[in-house]
Each structure stands twice: as structure tokens, then as C-alpha cells.
Amino acid sequence: MTDNIKSKVLRHLVEALIAAHGENLASITLYGSTAVEDTTDDPHHNVLVVLRQIALEDLRRSVEPVRVWTKASQPMPVYFSLDELQRAADVFPIEFLQMQKARRGLHGSDPLQLVETSDANLRHQLEYELRTKFLQLRRLYFPASQSAEKLAALMVESLASFAALFRGVLMLLGREVPVTKRDALHATANELGLEVAPFDRILELSSSPRAKLNEAEANEIFGAYLAQLERVIDAVDQIPGH
């Protein structure tokens, strides 16, 4: 059943969850970039686990499989019951749409076929998440401004969250959504007429840890970064469907 899963750590998780939950396990789904890339390596795998019902004892059965999984530097699996999955689509449209975009079933039926989202819910969540993360980014500037290194780290860490939201913007606009972070940033910049240079500079910092910025350079990039994020928020705010 798991012979077609090339990643050893992923195959071990699936086998352990099947053994732990038996008939209560409705499905295991791999989503994100590794769901569409055929690889034998063990990169980070995003996993959705759906149980028919979730009580404390069910969570306890997952403790050991999840411990082994996270010890291998894998992200924590996302757990839903079947009922929660259907009821939560109006609250988490971005997450579910991204899962639907790139997914591969590892066990059981496809749970995301049950999920229905709306553009109105998607636009509302996008604006809320963008504004919340933008305000947090601006607030975190104060402690990070103590050094160019801290400010660079703040930009690198925050860009991943914004890139995920940019995919949601593309979904809302009915555009093709790239899987990689760089492509998603570029596609959104092209769609909204943004300056892509600040995003590219931050991506360079993330791929080249030894790259150094002086204080003036770090602040210049941060200011340009904030300006482009504000333009994204303004664009989403003006999309019909409040």
C-alpha cells in the first residue's frame, strides 16, 4: 500500500498512522510542492491527517508516530475530523485551496473533494491575514532594527508567510498559482504591478546566509518591502465581494 511512497520518513509515518488508528483513519494526504515533485529525497512534507472522529485517546495514539516524524525535522501534521473538514472551509479558504491545488493521496479517499470554498470568504481571510501580518511585521521592526542581521532575518522569515498569502491573491483573481515561493511572488508582482526587486533581494538573503547588509541597506530594503506589501493590501481591499 505504501510501496509507491519514495520518501522513507513519509512512508514510515503513513504506516505508523495506519497501525495506530485503523478504521478511524479516513485519509492521509500530502500537499504542497512535494506532492507534485517526484523525489526520493526527504524534504519537508506537509501532511493532512483526517480521522473519522478525534477524541483525546485518538490524539494519544498519534503521539509516537508524530514524535518520530518531527524528530526527522518534518513539520507537524494537520489533523481534522471529517466533520470539521467540511465545516471549516469558510474559515480557512486559503489553506484548503492551496491543499486542493497541489495534493496527493497517501491513504484513503480524497477528503478535499468534500471541501467547498467561496470567493467572499477567501477575500475576507486574505485581507485579515495580510493586515495582521503586516502590522506584526511593522511592530517587530523595533527590536530587529538593533542590527542589520536581525532586520535581514525578520524579512526572510516573514516573506514565507506573505508568499503563501500571495498565492491566495492569485486564486482570488482566478490566475494560475505557481507552487514555488519565488514564482508566486513574481506572478503576484506581475499581476498587481508591484516592484519585484525587494522580494528578490530578500530571497537572495534567504538562499545566501553569508550575505551581509549594512544598516542603511537593510533599512532601505525593509522600507521598499513594506511599501509593496501595502500595495498588495490595498489591491485586495478593492476587490469586490466584501
How does pLDDT run across 70-107, given as a tens digit for each residue?
A: 999 999 999 999 999 888 877 888 888 878 878 899 99
Residue 126 in this model has a pLDDT that exceeds 50? yes
- For the segment 45-53, the average pLDDT, to the nearest whole number, is 95
Question: HEC string of the chain?
Answer: CCCCCCCHHHHHHHHHHHHHHHHHEEEEEEECHHHCCCCCCCCCCEEEEEECCCCHHHHHHHHHHHHHHHHCCCCCCEEEEHHHHHHCCCCCHHHHHHHHHCEEEEEECCHHHHCCCCHHHHHHHHHHHHHHHHHHHHHHHHHHCCCHHHHHHHHHHHHHHHHHHHHHHHHHCCCCCCCCHHHHHHHHHHHHCCCCHHHHHHHHHHHCCCCCCCHHHHHHHHHHHHHHHHHHHHHHHCCCCC
- For the segment 104-126, the average pLDDT, to the nearest whole number, is 88
User: Is the pTM value of this prediction over 0.85?
Assistant: no
How does pLDDT run across 6-26, given as a tens digit for each residue?
A: 889 999 999 999 999 999 999
- For the segment 211-223, the average pLDDT, to the nearest whole number, is 93
How does pLDDT run across 145-175, given as a tens digit for each residue?
A: 999 999 999 999 999 999 989 999 999 999 9
Query: What domains, with CATH codes, occur in the chain?
Result: 8-114 (3.30.460.10), 119-237 (1.20.120)
